[in-house]
Chain A
Amino acid sequence: MTALALKSYIAVVSTRFRTLLQYRIAAIAGIVTQVFWGLMKLMVFSAFYEVAQNQPPLSFESIVAYVWLGQCLFALFPYNVDPDMRAMFNSGSVAYDMLRPLSLYAYWFSRTLAFRTAPTVLRLVPGLFFAFVVLRLVGLDEWVMPLPPSFVAAFSFFISILLTVALSASIMMLVSISMFWLIDSRGMVNLMAGVVWVLGGMIIPLPLFPDWVQPFLSWQPFRGLCDIPFRIYSGDIAGFEIVGELVFQLAWVAILVLAGVWLMRRAQVKLTVQGG
């Protein structure tokens, strides 16, 4: 793809992003819910840590960072589907997007990027304000979001989150394109949300799962959504290990994008042969 072609897709992302920034009320409502759930989770975890017999594999401070990052970045994860996209793929009217001189996959990938990031940006500011400032003001120092231990951790976290965005979008694309073959896609999307929350580490941080599932957990792509960036942030993943984890994320992005492009091509063949 040439730089000139890339410009078209950047315009798609930024236009969609600006449009979605208008939905502020929904974002405020969302962050209130997420803050509430964050407090609940921390209550449960602090009880658990008090009675724990031996040292859990993640420090309580890391848990606090893990929980607040999860709550603030909630909208980034592929738990729901862009309603526009659902309508287009369900009805087959996505065929009309082929009238534009764009790759159909790249076009919808761009829109997905905006759909994942715009609501996140809206929730981030009040969310972080609560986690960093409000909790300190009310004296809940134990639960205040910690800062990354080093510059390297902060910078690697930033890179890792960018990869999370790409990973999330590529997962969403696979789900959305498969809606094209399904008569009712709601079941699929609900299933997807469950898988994302559990295997990503949003419900329980992955290191707290029993040892016997760890080999499976460490290879599945959803780990790249929460577990990797959050533990890089807290310094739980550090040093040379970081590089390995970033490569892991990148590899899954590549695999899922290729799968999506392939699936989209199948859908396009069906669309152009059968006619929408």
Chain B
Amino acid sequence: MYQIHVQGLTKSYRIAERQPGMVGAVKSLFHRTYRDVDALRGIDFDISRGEMVGYIGPNGAGKSTTIKILAGILVPTGGRCVVNGVVPWQSRISYVAQIGVVFGQRTQLWWDLPVVESFELLREIYKVPNNRFKTSLAELVELLDLSPLLDTPVRQLSLGQRVKCDIASALLHEPQILFLDEPTIGLDAVTKASVRGFIKEINRNRDVTVLLTTHDLGDIEALCRRVIVINDGICLSDSSIDELRNQYVHEKHVVIEFGNSPCLESIHQDDVLKSEGTRITFLCTSDISDFVAQMTSRYEIKDITIETPPIERVVTELYESSK
């Protein structure tokens, strides 16, 4: 039984078209024309309890739209979506009490309240028992290093500090599911690492299901065994990061450390990317095991490393190929 079930999900936004000029403005008083933007065009995926899934795609792909539907604040145009056995937007109030949502782009904390008072208010709103709240808060404060921020009004926090507080606030009521829309936006390298560590910890310790969108593929590599790629409202792929690599990038870099300077006449010079003495980097587009076998049979070899291409390249290629 899946915790999150999404099938054939579609969403089109209806936008009122404005005709240019004075005549257009007058016309549109009497007759509005609309244009439909298809943000989602049939998304399918299932997520089990405790999974941590990356949800990536270029700008405007439909990631935030999907998150809003899953969070119960947007109604799709078509398709099915069942989370924790309920349809999110149909039983919104009881449903949202069970989930945590962070939109990195905007805060859900109260602008003029000190962080700790925001947390107190959330305790009342989610009806968290006092002792549970205390332990939960203590854990979050420690993991995210929030204690210097607690008495600061939210409007005085820096972007990164605010995002950390937002993440903590989404977990105070111990939700089973966490939806994170760009949770590492605007974070410096150190904070990013600590937030990643935190998300990992929460996923492991509390068995929280996590679906996260990001433009930082480092997040995906650090956190997600599974990644769903969408573009233009459709799923391009749903697999592990390694599978994604193998599937979309058919070339690898093989670095070979030779015992002595090899005579390379027999090797196609085009395949040599870099040559530094006995250390030579080859571009391998054919079967990698054949290539390695061939080399080892001919030469004396000290060391072989096969470099996997950076995930950025994989994703760029994927986005490009879907255009």
Residues of A within 8 A of B (CB): 4, 7-8, 11-12, 15, 19, 84, 93, 95-96, 98-103, 271-275
Contacts and interface: CB of A to CB of B under 8 A. Distances in A.
Contact of B121 (A11, A95, A272): A11
A96 B103 contact: yes
B105 to A, nearest CB: 11
Nearest to A7: B124
B127 A99 contact: no
12 contacts: A7-B127, A8-B124, A11-B124, A12-B124, A15-B113, A95-B73, A96-B73, A98-B72, A98-B73, A99-B96, A99-B101, A275-B11
Contacts of A271: 73
Contacts of B313: none
Given A11-B121, A272-B73, A274-B13, A101 B106 contact: no
Contact of B94 (A4, A19, A101): A101
B125 interface: yes
Nearest to B100: A99
Contacts of A272: 73-75, 89
B93 A15 contact: no
B93 A102 contact: yes
Nearest to A111: B110
Contacts of B84: none
Given A93-B106, A99-B96, A101-B97, A275 B74 contact: yes
Contacts of A273: 75
Contacts of A98: 72-73, 92, 96
Contact of A101 (B68, B96, B110): B96
A15 B117 contact: yes
B65 A275 contact: yes
Interface residues of B, number: 31
Contacts of A11: 121, 124-125
Q: Which of A11, A99, A100, A271: most chain B CB closer than 10 A? A: A99
A3 B255 CA distance: 70
A19 B112 contact: yes
Q: What's the dominant secondary structure at chain A's contact region?
A: helix
Given A96-B103, A96-B108, A8 B127 contact: yes
A95 B13 CA distance: 15
Contacts of B125: 8, 11-12, 100-102
Contacts of A12: 121, 124-125
A274 B34 CA distance: 12
Interface string B1-39: 000000000010110000000000000000000000000
Contacts of B108: 96, 99
Contacts of A99: 71-73, 96, 101, 108
Contacts of A15: 110, 113, 117, 120-121
B113 A101 contact: no
Nearest to B97: A101
Contacts of A93: 106
Interface string B69-80: 001111100000
B274 to A, nearest CB: 50
Contacts of B45: none
Contacts of A100: 96, 125
B291 interface: no
B126 interface: yes
Contacts of A84: 111
Contacts of B11: 275
A84 B73 CA distance: 20
B177 to A, nearest CB: 13
Interface string B182-214: 000000000000000000000000000000000
B258 to A, nearest CB: 60
Q: Which of B72, B111, B124: most chain A CB closer than 10 A? A: B124
Contacts of B73: 95-96, 98-99, 271-272
B127 A96 contact: no
A4 B125 CA distance: 10
Contacts of B126: 101
Contacts of A8: 124-125, 127
B113 to A, nearest CB: 6
Contacts of A96: 73, 103, 106, 108
